Amino acid sequence: MKIAVVGTGYVGLVSGTCFAETGNHVTCIDIDEKKVKKLASGTITIYEPGLEKIFIRNLNEKRLDFTTNLAEGIKDAQIIFLALPTPPGEDGSADLKYVLGVARELGKLLTDYKVIVDKSTVPVGTAEKVRNAIAEHYKGEFDVVSNPEFLREGVAVDDFMKPDRVVIGTTSERARKIMGELYAPYVRQGNPVIYMDEKSAELTKYAANSFLATKISFMNEIAQLCEKLGADVDMVRRGIGSDERIGKRFLFPGIGYGGSCFPKDVQALIKSSEQVQYDFKILKAVETVNENQKLHLLPKIKHYFNNQLKGKHFAIWGLAFKPNTDDIREAPALYIIKALLAEGATVTAFDPEAMNNVKQQIGNVIEYANDQYSTLNNADALIIATEWNEFRTPDFEVMVQKMKHKVIFDGRNLFEVKAMQDKGFYYESIGRPKM
């Protein structure tokens, strides 16, 4: 098939590349000329494991190309995906100006039947708004489909190529058939393609992310209770995770969720609920718990140093909101850094992929190390904010040599408590005894 993908952000680039990987011809369209030139020349603009290899392959085999010209990009496409930003507005609702702006432009350009697909995460009712925006200028036949993405940063290629499920929201048999043919190569193992109406598909995406955010925040509350009662959250997690009704995933406590999806989608679903006069109490609590959890380590740090952080120097391992990505949107590490600097402390940080993004956002208010051990020079304490694999089994002897004090505040529970006690560290983590 010939496909156009409007938007070359995270979702657009992963989707376009993976569609090309199964033999489709994909044209990706973006208004950012510098980005388009980079992509067209073979320079990938995001970090995602496994993506660069298939990106280069499909670029070389001319199944993947890039343009800034919307008319040129969609001319021969049977399907046009809208993978555009939907940032939160001041009131928390998803801003649809980019989606609807492109929809109006498409209305001026369409000359024959095409399937327009909302791939962006959008509020319930967006498909209808897109349909109306196109129809302002185009009176011919077309269909608008909701096809939410369920990509996890860090494993997005696998998620796309071998999806747990594909959700397609459409009431059109013609569009249903076309979308079914497109996704057939991705569900050969029998995972379902679930067809539903457009509004149900739109809500499915928000419901899925909000439920996962709820699991995380619930477990973070359990971790706080463990700290007060003297229980061990690792034991609790294993005890409840073995119940198949609950499951093992998304039960790891930490310093809160971040990224481009959970914070924005929880906020947007709360706002959508308010617009129909429904008070979504659980999600409001989830949002509050997560905001507080991002700074859960700070009282522990202040208590250890007798509320005197001025002049103290901290090492931070991890800046991305999760491992295997360079995404720093709503990353807990940034909240911790801001709080430490406000207390008069200094910070040196290391992250395998996210340091350039942090530099662009906060500049040189902190130091950036070349490796994880360089951060530790004369550090009063180490703070672990992201669970990158290379942080899991460090050389503790090197750490002891470099650090001023053997003190670790672990926001991701990377190490065993007893092992840290045996090594002589003062060690505080989330929901477990301090040593």
Residue 100: what residue type? Answer: L
Rg (CA), the chain: 24
Supply the angle between the helices 126-135 and 97-109 in degrees, to the nearest 10.
40
Spell out a b/e string for 241-273, using b for 16 or more CB atoms within 10 Å of the CB, else e. beeeeeeeebbbbbbbbbbbbbbbbbbbbbbbb
Sheet containing strand 313-317, edge to edge, reads 367-368, 346-350, 313-317, 381-384, 407-410, 426-428
Determine whether 226 is an active site residue. Answer: no
What is d(CA 395, CA 389) in angstroms, rounded to the nearest whole number? 13
- In DSSP notation, 273-318 reads HHHTT---HHHHHHHHHHHHHTTTHHHHHHHHTTT--TT-EEEEE-
Alpha helical stretches, state H, 65-96: 70-74
Q: How many helices (H) and strands (E) does the chain have?
A: 17, 14
Beta strands in 327-393, from DSSP E residues, in sequence order: 346-350, 367-368, 381-384
Residues 114/80, Cβ–Cβ less than 8 Å: yes
- Compute the distance between CA of residue 426 and CA of residue 237 in angstroms, rounded to an integer: 24
- Positions marked catalytic: 261
